[in-house]
Amino acid sequence: MANKNITVLGAASAIVKGMGVTLKEMMSPTVTEFYPEEPPKFEERYRGAHVLQRDENGLEKCVACFLCAAACPADCIYIEAAENTDTVRISGGERYAKVYNIDYNRCIFCGYCVEACPTDAITHGHGFEVASYNTSTLIKRKEDMLAPIPPGAKPPVVTEEAAAH
Ligand code: SF4
Ligand code: SF4
């Protein structure tokens, strides 16, 4: 009998607790997003489309170490490395990623690549509009992901394009 009473009391307390959460939510202000008229708000840690970061001089942070590709469980990162030279300096390290592709047909936004990167070159941005009816457009290239050169970046920032002219 005592056990039965404890069970009933436990169930009643759970119901009261649950109703408390419901009432609290009912009293909270309603949050309405006006997407697509206005961009939605994301939490800082939201894992959206990737961004390849630059340093304060505009050099690419990626040094083509392949650790992100090795950590990726979906095998969706493809990198081709090249050496920096006296006339072409793309990154702060010895090498840079001449090709850096992420296949969003396969990416599961797990963030392992971001965790693995020793230079904080690959990060998750807040981009989320990656859906497409054409899967070939879901392979994003370095040029699609590269952060813009920061304003006031100091030379020398020698790009492959500049060196070619
Ligand atoms: S988020 Fe995960 S699946 Fe996507 S590229 Fe990075 S490691 Fe691979
Ligand atoms: S993004 Fe980071 S982990 Fe990946 S190759 Fe570049 S430096 Fe290495």
For 80-110, how does the pLDDT look when each residue is reduced to its tens digit (9 = 90+)? 999 999 888 999 999 999 999 999 999 999 9
* 147 CA from centroid of ligand 1 (Å): 18
Percent of the chain with pLDDT over 70: 92
> Which helix (H) or strand (E) segment is 81 a member of?
strand 77-83
162 pLDDT higher than 80: no
Q: Which atom of ligand 1 is nearest to the CA of 114?
A: 6
Specify the pLDDT at position 31.
Answer: 83
Tens-place pLDDT, residues 102-117: 999 999 999 999 999 9
Ligand nearest to the backbone CA of 104: 1
Q: Which atom of ligand 1 is nearest to the CA of 72?
A: 7
How far is Cα 98 from Cα 149, in angstroms, rounded to an integer?
Answer: 17
Architecture of domain 50-148: 2-Layer Sandwich (3.30)
Whether the CB of 117 sits within 6 Å of ligand 2? yes
pTM: 0.80
21 pLDDT higher than 60: yes
Whether the CB of 108 sits within 6 Å of ligand 1? yes
Ligand nearest to the backbone CA of 107: 1
Q: Where along the chain do its domains lie?
A: 50-148
- Is-cis flag, bond preceding 151, omega within 30? no
Longest Cα separation, the chain = 90
How far is Cα 104 from Cα 137, in angstroms, rounded to an integer?
Answer: 9
Residue closest via CA to ligand 1's atom 1 equals 109
66 pLDDT higher than 80: yes
How far is Cα 10 from Cα 129, in angstroms, rounded to an integer?
Answer: 46
